[in-house]
Chain A
């Protein structure tokens, strides 16, 4: 099935004086997917998001969100897109419910409808019991969940989350990500989220885009990205042996599927083309060494990320 592109970015560039924050970015996000925008701080993720919402003007390039150009019709885009900024803030002296109702009123949602939706959303994000408490009593994680409810009250087609997991404890992150996934599944909502926490994003994203210094250096499903990057040695075996003698390493390297071996005391990292764990184990045992640990490793985003930064690929 060919999916419709809900966000299309082509040749997008943003310059602040001499600094190029976003450099000829071309990217598309399909309707109904969760897309992760990954990159270190200052890579241009937030700038890109601001341009998607029409809050910042691109220096060059074209953007289409739901078929609308946000630079010219920011209103229409803001009606269809929910944006949860990094470190979202609320009116602390109002209750969570009133904050939601205020947002609803700004979106011209009729009062009775707004109230119904707000209550439903508060239930969905697990804040029903705190609905009438002032926001100043909320924890960071609760505010983030309220933020999610806040952007959902206008029933957007796309939600954009800027660093949604920042500063939340691991349990809070897990709940938030589960909630995002649920929304995506139930309502077919498109989600674009930016993060520098690779591991977290990995769990829920259908596709990711890697962002470094304003450039998109790779985009695709995480598995494909890993394969693309690690064509030569897609499999990594972690081995712990004693003694890790030079002869043993030489013998392992002699295996035709092994591309290289890195040693760190008793730990060996063996990069290979084929899953040859059994053969390696035999080799080790035959050399009279003691095998304490052997595991096969799939590449996660951390490795992908790491490679980009150290290898400059």
Chain B
């Protein structure tokens, strides 16, 4: 794999096939950097392993969806979103695709970002880069853009693969609405992984050792995916209102618990994606029987589903931006010494 690398990169650096005749003007340094970072990623073992892992996931979740599709369709006669079931249905032996993404997405983000800055530092290339006439933030911006591009490609490939294999195995093509729902699902996944990518980049600036940075990222990931719900449960048990509390109190308490859970990005992600992929979900908060009594059981249109998860989407994007902002400030303030 590594053998074809130098030549490939040389070609990329020398001639831009896109600009063709206009190649006399040198490319903008920022895109030169992005291009190099992307090349570094896709030629690395790390990326191959991640891609392999995600491919396995795709196949496994498709298998589990196929084996339960019959039952899922039989249960749900009201809607016709059979295709989306591929992403959410499970026979219990393996989690469905959306759960896999929610679980493994952080791993992708962390794996692509944990050594972004500290590897440049320990290789001694950071001070050499900074001595070139480029703004300092190009380095961190290029790293982020390149990794996000790689993640985008990866998610799109997986999404299309899932759809393609789904069509082949079920023989049912997706309706345009289903296509758009899957599209938005992929978009949310990219933003979600972006949050973890930024977290990893932040750790890579903060910690000089790549191992420390990777471990910190993994610790945060494990905390949110394993321990966070446990902690929330403990809080819930100790603060739950008595059984005789009136309905409004119960509802507001339920809302409080839900908001507590929403501190975790994976909670936001699963709320957003479930709503997108299961059109029958009408609300994410608590709902009383009387509120639901006159509702017509039926799927929400795409626009309404999007509206429902808009806060979740905004929060995820905001988290990504905030973490990136912190990394940016950390990086700009950091003293540059060679290898220290």
Which of A89, A101, A108, A162 has the most B CB atoms < 10 Å from its CB? A89
- The answer on a CB contact under 8 Å between B13 and A101 is yes
Closest to A86 in B: B338
Cβ-Cβ contact count across A and B, 8 Å cutoff: 108
- SS of A interface (majority): mixed
- What is the minimal beta-carbon distance from B333 to any residue of chain A, in angstroms? 11
- The answer on a CB contact under 8 Å between A111 and B14 is yes
Stretch from B3-11, B221-229, B233-241 contacting the other chain: B3-11
- The answer on a CB contact under 8 Å between A106 and B10 is no
- The answer on a CB contact under 8 Å between A98 and B338 is no
Contacts of B243 in A (CB 8 A): none
- The answer on a CB contact under 8 Å between A102 and B127 is no
Contact pattern, B 1-45, Cβ under 8 Å of A = 1, otherwise 0: 010011001100111000000011111110011001000100100
Return the contact of A105 from the options B13, B23, B24, B131 (Cβ within 8 A). Answer: B13
A199 at the interface (CB under 8 A from B): no
Contact pattern, A 96-114, Cβ under 8 Å of B = 1, otherwise 0: 0110011101111111000
- The answer on a CB contact under 8 Å between A102 and B13 is yes
- The answer on a CB contact under 8 Å between B15 and A78 is no
B78 at the interface (CB under 8 A from A): no
A10 at the interface (CB under 8 A from B): no
B130 at the interface (CB under 8 A from A): yes
A238 at the interface (CB under 8 A from B): no
Closest to A50 in B: B336
- The answer on a CB contact under 8 Å between B123 and A89 is yes
B92 at the interface (CB under 8 A from A): no
- The answer on a CB contact under 8 Å between A106 and B129 is yes
- The answer on a CB contact under 8 Å between A94 and B26 is no
Given contacts A46-B337, A111-B26, contact A93 B5 (CB under 8 A): yes
- The answer on a CB contact under 8 Å between B15 and A85 is no
Contacts of B335 in A (CB 8 A): 56
Return the contact of A150 from the options B123, B128, B133, B336 (Cβ within 8 A). Answer: B128
Return the contact of B26 from the options A53, A76, A88, A110 (Cβ within 8 A). Answer: A110
Closest to B25 in A: A110
B134 at the interface (CB under 8 A from A): yes
- What is the minimal beta-carbon distance from A101 to any residue of chain B, in angstroms? 5
Return the contact of A95 from the options B6, B14, B43 (Cβ within 8 A). Answer: B6
Q: Which 10 A-B pairs have the closest CB atoms?
A: A89-B124, A83-B131, A78-B133, A85-B127, A89-B123, A85-B338, A105-B32, A108-B26, A106-B132, A79-B133
